[in-house]
């Protein structure tokens, strides 16, 4: 259980940091969320895909331990966009 908490926080912080930098460089707000949904989730599914199982069997094989860090990363992407938006509304032109 401790590893799950550490992994979730780690994914949150990593995606937040990468998303914050992408938002600063590309002057976008929620680009990391779109990037995560379009590239991150399909890459994870492709990596864990097993051809010996049926289509529905592959998706039911995901457990709580697989899904919680992915949700933590998605929340990190959202929080990075919300932080950039708050900084821009606060008058910081650098962001």
Query: What does the alpha-carbon distance between residue 43 and residue 78 come to, in Å, rounded to a whole number?
Result: 19
pTM of the model: 0.82
User: For residues 14 and 76, is the Cβ–Cβ distance under 8 A?
Assistant: yes
On whether the CB atoms of residues 81 and 32 are closer than 8 A, the answer is yes
Q: What is the mean pLDDT of the chain?
A: 88
pLDDT value at 58 more than 80: no
pLDDT at 60: 80
Q: What is the mean pLDDT of residues 39-44?
A: 83
């Amino acid at each position: 259980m401790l590893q799950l908490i550490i992994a979730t926080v780690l994914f949150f912080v990593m995606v937040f940091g990468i998303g914050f930098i992408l938002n600063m460089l590309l002057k976008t707000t929620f680009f990391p969320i779109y990037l995560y949904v379009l590239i991150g989730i399909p890459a994870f599914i492709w990596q864990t895909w097993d051809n010996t199982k049926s289509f529905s069997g592959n998706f039911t094989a995901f457990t709580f331990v697989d899904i919680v860090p992915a949700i933590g990363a998605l929340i990190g992407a959202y929080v990075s966009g919300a932080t950039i938006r708050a900084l821009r509304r606060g008058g910081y032109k650098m962001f």
